[in-house]
Amino acid sequence: MRQALHRLRIATHGKGLVPFTRDVRDWVTSTGIGTGLLTVWCRHTSASLTVQENADPTVLEDIKRYFEALVPEAPGRYIHDDEGPDDMPAHLRTMLTQTQISIPVADGRPVLGTWQGLYLFEHRRHPHQRDIVLHLIGE
């Protein structure tokens, strides 16, 4: 059994979904581990991870719009606003999604469906540098 650990730094441009499937695939291939389990971890409380449609960009736009309606930025609605009006909504959106994804690895590649891609979901208005940790265990 072997283990490998890696960090990705993903630049965001404000709210939205940022694809990073290729970075993960390339790193998994470089480890030489053929079969195992990959954990993808987001080290933030105002950004999250999702596996989502990677063919039609309107899906991503609809997801973004849905979360804007579900958890709106509304002055006076939230107590916590230390970093601005998008602060608490970003925390709530992260809580409703996920900060960790587990993906099987077979034949040296993450086992994703034909239309599945990995995305960082940025919940803040301004650009950020987000840290993602990849941990692969297998043989």
- Domains for the chain: give ranges and CATH numbers: 2-138 (2.60.120.460)
Amino acid at 121: F
Q: Give the integer Cα–Cα distance in Å for 89 and 92.
A: 5
State the pLDDT at residue 38. 99
106-114 contacts: CB < 8 A, separation 24 or more? 106/34, 106/35, 107/34, 107/35, 108/28, 108/29, 108/32, 108/33, 108/34, 109/25, 109/28, 109/29, 110/21, 110/24, 110/25, 110/28, 110/38, 112/21, 112/51
In DSSP terms, which residues pair with 36 in a beta bridge? 105, 138
The predicted model gives 126-132 an average pLDDT of 98
Q: What is the DSSP track for 70-128?
A: HS---TTT-S--TT-TTHHHHHHHHHHS-SEEEEEEETTEE---TTEEEEEEE-SSS--
Q: Give the integer Cα–Cα distance in Å for 106 and 35.
A: 5
Q: If pLDDT is split at 50, 70 and 90, which confidence band does 81 have? A: confident
2-20 pLDDT, tens per residue? 999 999 999 999 999 999 9
State the pLDDT at residue 116. 98
20-73 pLDDT, tens per residue? 999 999 999 999 999 999 999 999 999 999 999 999 999 999 999 999 999 999
Task: Report pTM.
Answer: 0.95
